[in-house]
Amino acid sequence: MSDATSSLHIYNSLSGKKEQFTPIEDKHVGMYVCGPTVYSNVHLGNCRTFISFDLVYRYLKHLGYSVRYVRNITDAGHLEHDADEGEDRISKKARLERIEPMEVVQRYTVDFHQTLAAFNTLPPNIEPTATGHIIEQIEIVKGILASGLAYEVSGSVYFDVQKYNESNNYGILSGRKLEDMIHNTRSLSRQSDKRSPQDFALWKKAEPQHIMRWPSPWGDGFPGWHLECTAMSTKYLGEQFDIHGGGMDLKFPHHECEIAQAQALNQKRPVNTWMHANMLTLNGKKMAKSTGKNILPNELFSGANPVLSKAFSPDVARFFMLHAHYRSILDLSSDALEAAEKGYKRLIQGIELLADLPISDKSSTDINTHISSYFDAMNDDFNSPVLIAQLFETVKLIHRVKQGEDTLSKSDLEKLHKAVHHFVLDVLGLTLTSNQSEDTYLDKALSVLIEMREQARANKDFATADRIRDELLAKGIQLKDGKDGTTYGLSS
């Protein structure tokens, strides 16, 4: 294990501070990340969250930790509204598309896996599903009822937030105060069984039309949407574990409720370090499916979205995402992606030069300062933008060595080669695959065609110009005329 492990600091959402990371069990890390609700295609903002935690997982492994990474699949019980009302999102989709709920789950689980694989994220060690852990969830409901912090009303069980708050702090993670929440919420609708609007469902009675239902001591029903994460994290990582992650939007109520459930059940704080990844915006605005201000990963890879000037490879998209710190908001735009693509190519070309640099007897520079700067960046709360900046410093050095302005000994060169590859491939998870060069050939071939078309248009030979455009389109390649000239992407 590297000495660097002792200096890893992580920003803990619970304390609001960067803290030195010490796992509960030496050399082992338990990490739980809230996975997707599989009722639609995974959107790019979620991909950013999972790429952020992939970086965390990869770096912990790189430091020599044995990591158990658990990420769930929510395939039941996730209601449309946080207030425990509305329809189960999966059942709703199934009803609208006239298919079985499990068909919805299967379709979007496959999409999720394919998309995350395209982004070169590593699979978790365990990927449990909510429907596969109904028994465990029922046991937790029983336990919380036994502790006196939940109550049953006509087939549903609710968590008693006010009673819990008498001896615990509901709001410990989000910083919210229960009295403010009570002050700011509408009173309950008459149909509600809850004693107080802040109470949340542990178990919901299934109405006759509800398809996804399981027998329980309280009748047929389904689990509340915070429960599965408590059940699965406790089952696979224990009553107390090291890291719990998720998107910023899950901090409240989801993670706050997870803490309350586990605390009520085990009288222990379940998680030492809470980590939250920030969101991805599109041209400065929050992405929203309803307004069409949204972009799907496959549209990014094909260029088939009006906000994009061209297609971007998953490697470039991943590089773009890691170019911002996971706790900062990242704004996606065509210009920002193009800038990332240029940067990515510069980095790759620099690294490729490492293989045949001139070898000298002595080094003119201390290579260890480069290597330790990579660790320093990542030890500072997984600061990937600083790591990338340091790698660019190394690329400058590589160019200087190539020009003969600096020298490197054989052993230093080997050491640098190894460190750069570890950080670029293993930690940042960039692939450096040969499709980069295929891209280049395609780029070259298309730039010839684009130039021929421009020449034809300049000669007023519009028939030829249109033929080039139409025949490319028939092959699935769409030319786009913009203010900076013509670009191409895959047609949708």
In the complex with Zn ion, the residue whose CB is nearer, 35 or 303, is 35
Distance between CA atoms of 360 and 348, rounded to whole angstroms? Answer: 23
In the complex with Zn ion, the residue whose CB is nearer, 229 or 391, is 229
CB atoms within 10 A of CB 258: 26
Min dist. Cβ of residue 2 to Zn ion (A) = 31
Are 197 and 134 in contact by the 8 Å Cβ rule? The answer is no
What x-and-dash track marks residues 206-235 binding Zn ion by CB under 5 A? Answer: -----------------------x------
In the complex with Zn ion, the residue whose CB is nearer, 34 or 63, is 34
Are 330 and 321 in contact by the 8 Å Cβ rule? The answer is yes
Min dist. Cβ of residue 391 to Zn ion (A) = 34
Q: Which of 436, 412, 437, 432 is nearest to 351 (CA)?
A: 432
Q: Which of residues 425-464 bind Zn ion (CB under 5 A)?
A: none
In the complex with Zn ion, the residue whose CB is nearer, 78 or 205, is 78
Are 112 and 74 in contact by the 8 Å Cβ rule? The answer is no
In the complex with Zn ion, the residue whose CB is nearer, 36 or 489, is 36
Task: Scan for tokens 């959402």, then name that residue.
Answer: 13
Min dist. Cβ of residue 254 to Zn ion (A) = 6
Number of chain positions touching Zn ion (CB under 5 A): 2
Min dist. Cβ of residue 268 to Zn ion (A) = 18
In the complex with Zn ion, the residue whose CB is nearer, 8 or 56, is 56
In the complex with Zn ion, the residue whose CB is nearer, 227 or 351, is 227
What x-and-dash track marks residues 24-53 binding Zn ion by CB under 5 A? Answer: ----------x-------------------
Min dist. Cβ of residue 246 to Zn ion (A) = 6
Min dist. Cβ of residue 252 to Zn ion (A) = 12
Min dist. Cβ of residue 228 to Zn ion (A) = 7
Min dist. Cβ of residue 35 to Zn ion (A) = 8
In the complex with Zn ion, the residue whose CB is nearer, 84 or 299, is 84
Distance between CA atoms of 35 and 22, rounded to whole angstroms? Answer: 25
* Residue 436 φ then ψ, to 5°: -60, -45
Min dist. Cβ of residue 48 to Zn ion (A) = 17
Distance between CA atoms of 165 and 183, rounded to whole angstroms? Answer: 15
Q: Which of 166, 46, 183 is nearest to 116 (CA)?
A: 46
Min dist. Cβ of residue 105 to Zn ion (A) = 17
Distance between CA atoms of 489 and 480, rounded to whole angstroms? Answer: 8
In the complex with Zn ion, the residue whose CB is nearer, 229 or 408, is 229
Distance between CA atoms of 202 and 164, rounded to whole angstroms? Answer: 14
In the complex with Zn ion, the residue whose CB is nearer, 34 or 472, is 34
73 binding Zn ion? (CB under 5 A): no
Distance between CA atoms of 191 and 83, rounded to whole angstroms? Answer: 13
In the complex with Zn ion, the residue whose CB is nearer, 5 or 49, is 49
In the complex with Zn ion, the residue whose CB is nearer, 34 or 419, is 34
Min dist. Cβ of residue 260 to Zn ion (A) = 13
Tokens of 62: 């790189």
Min dist. Cβ of residue 262 to Zn ion (A) = 12
Distance between CA atoms of 113 and 50, rounded to whole angstroms? Answer: 11
**Residues near Zn ion, by CB under 5 A:** 34, 229
